[in-house]
Amino acid sequence: MDLIIRNAHIVGERGLKDIGVEGSKIAKIGKIAGKAHNAIDAKGMLVSPAFIDPHIHLDKCMIGDAIRPNVSGTLQEAIEIIWDTKRKYTVADIVKRAGGVIKLAAMNGTTRMRTHADVDTIGGLTPVKGLLAVKKKFKNIMDIQVVAFPQEGILRDPGTEELMRKAMELGADLVGGMPHHERPYSEARPHIDICFKIAKEFGADIDMHVDETDDPASRSLKYLAEKTVKEGYQGRVTAGHTCALAAYPDDYAREVIRKVKLANINMITNPVTNLVIQGREDKQPIRRGITRVKELLAAGVNVSFGQDCVNDAFYPFGKADMLEVANISAHAAQLSMPDEIETVFKMMTENAARTLRVLDDYGIAVGKRADLVIIDAASPKDAIRRQPDRRYVIKGGKILAESQSLRKLR
Ligand SMILES: [Zn+2]
pLDDT for residue 10: 98
- The alpha carbon of 216 and the centre of ligand 1 are apart by a number of angstroms equal to 19
CA 187 to chain centre: 27
Q: pLDDT tier at 207 (50, 70, 90 boundaries)?
A: very high
How far is the C-alpha of 238 from the C-alpha of 224, rounded, in Å? 10
pLDDT digits (tens, 9 = 90+) for 177-192: 999 999 999 999 999 9
In this prediction, residues 349-372 reach a mean pLDDT of 98
Closest by CA to 351, choosing from 304, 300, 296, is 304
pLDDT for residue 310: 98
- The alpha carbon of 309 and the centre of ligand 1 are apart by a number of angstroms equal to 7
| 86-99 per-residue burial string, b: 16 or more CB within 10 A, e: under 16 | beebebebbbebbb
- The alpha carbon of 301 and the centre of ligand 1 are apart by a number of angstroms equal to 20
Q: pLDDT tier at 134 (50, 70, 90 boundaries)?
A: very high
Q: pLDDT tier at 325 (50, 70, 90 boundaries)?
A: very high
Q: pLDDT tier at 114 (50, 70, 90 boundaries)?
A: very high
Closest by CA to 132, choosing from 58, 226, 37, is 58
- The alpha carbon of 152 and the centre of ligand 1 are apart by a number of angstroms equal to 13
Say whether the peptide bond before residue 285 is cis (omega within 30 degrees of 0). Answer: yes
pLDDT digits (tens, 9 = 90+) for 283-302: 999 999 999 999 999 999 99
In this prediction, residues 261-269 reach a mean pLDDT of 98
In this prediction, residues 348-372 reach a mean pLDDT of 98
Three-state helix/strand/coil letters over the chain: CCEEEEEEEECCCCCCEEEEEECCEEEEEECCCCCCCEEEECCCCEEEECEEEEEECCCCCCCCCCCCCCCCCCHHHHHHHCHHHHHHCCHHHHHHHHHHHHHHHHHCCEEEEEEEEECECCCECHHHHHHHHHHHHCCCCCEEEEEEECCCCCCCCCCHHHHHHHHHHHCCCEEEECHHHCCCHHHHHHHHHHHHHHHHHHCCEEEEEECCCCCCCCCHHHHHHHHHHHCCCCCCEEEEECHHHHCCCHHHHHHHHHHHHHCCCEEEECHHHHHHHCCCCCCCCCCCCCCCHHHHHHCCCCEEECCECCCCCCCCCCCCCHHHHHHHHHHHCCCCCHHHHHHHHHHCCHHHHHHCCCHHHCCCCCCCECCEEEECCCCHHHHHHHCCCEEEEEECCEEEEECCCCCCCC
Catalytic, 212? Answer: yes
pLDDT for residue 395: 98
| 126-155 per-residue burial string, b: 16 or more CB within 10 A, e: under 16 | bbbbbbbbbbeebeebbbbbbbbbbbbbbb
Q: pLDDT tier at 18 (50, 70, 90 boundaries)?
A: very high
pLDDT for residue 154: 98
In this prediction, residues 18-33 reach a mean pLDDT of 98
**Whole-number percent of the chain with pLDDT over 70:** 100
pLDDT for residue 343: 98
Given 212, 231, 281, 342, the catalytic residue:
212
pLDDT for residue 341: 98
In this prediction, residues 317-332 reach a mean pLDDT of 98
pLDDT for residue 184: 92
What rounded mean pLDDT belongs to the chain?
Answer: 97
- The alpha carbon of 82 and the centre of ligand 1 are apart by a number of angstroms equal to 14
**In sequence order, what are the residues at sequence separation of 6 or more whose Cβ sits closer than 8 angstroms to the Cβ of residue 36?**
1, 2, 3, 4, 20
The pocket of ion ligand 1, defined by CB under 5 A, consists of 308
pLDDT for residue 131: 98
| φ/ψ bin of 152: left (φ > 0), alpha (ψ from -120 to 50), beta (otherwise) | alpha
**In sequence order, what are the residues at sequence separation of 6 or more whose Cβ sits closer than 8 angstroms to the Cβ of residue 249?**
216
pLDDT digits (tens, 9 = 90+) for 30-75: 999 999 999 999 999 999 999 999 999 999 999 999 999 999 999 9
In this prediction, residues 207-228 reach a mean pLDDT of 97
